[in-house]
Amino acid sequence: MNARQEKFDRDAALQLFQTVSQVIAVKGKKILRFPITKSQPVTEDLLSTILGPSGNLRAPALRKGKTFVVGFHPDVYNEVLR
């Protein structure tokens, strides 16, 4: 998927998160982990963290298996891409 050609808004993010078990959001130096389960569904806090001011998914975004990463931190990428 190319985010420049295909916008990923709130509804698309909610649909995608039905197929993942964890979202890792990197904001500055903060690494936030959000487990996604039936008892812990997607929260407004998660959505406000991963969506930018335009209402679309922040970049970069990466999915590997059931983990979805938004933002960049080398330690997180090393962990997820091993």
How do the pLDDT tens digits run along the chain, 82 residues long?
555 667 788 898 888 888 999 999 999 899 999 999 888 888 888 999 999 898 889 889 999 999 999 999 999 999 999 8
Question: What pLDDT, on a 0 to 100 scale, did the predictor assign at position 13?
Answer: 87
Taking CA atoms, 12 is separated from 6, 8, 28, 71, 80, in Å, by: 11, 6, 24, 17, 22
Question: What pLDDT, on a 0 to 100 scale, did the predictor assign at position 4?
Answer: 61
How far apart, in whole angstroms, are the C-alpha atoms of residue 38 and residue 55? 25
Give the residues across from 22 on adjacent strands: 35, 67
In this structure, are residues 69 and 62 in contact, taking their beta carbons and an 8 Å threshold? yes
Domain locations along the chain: 10-81
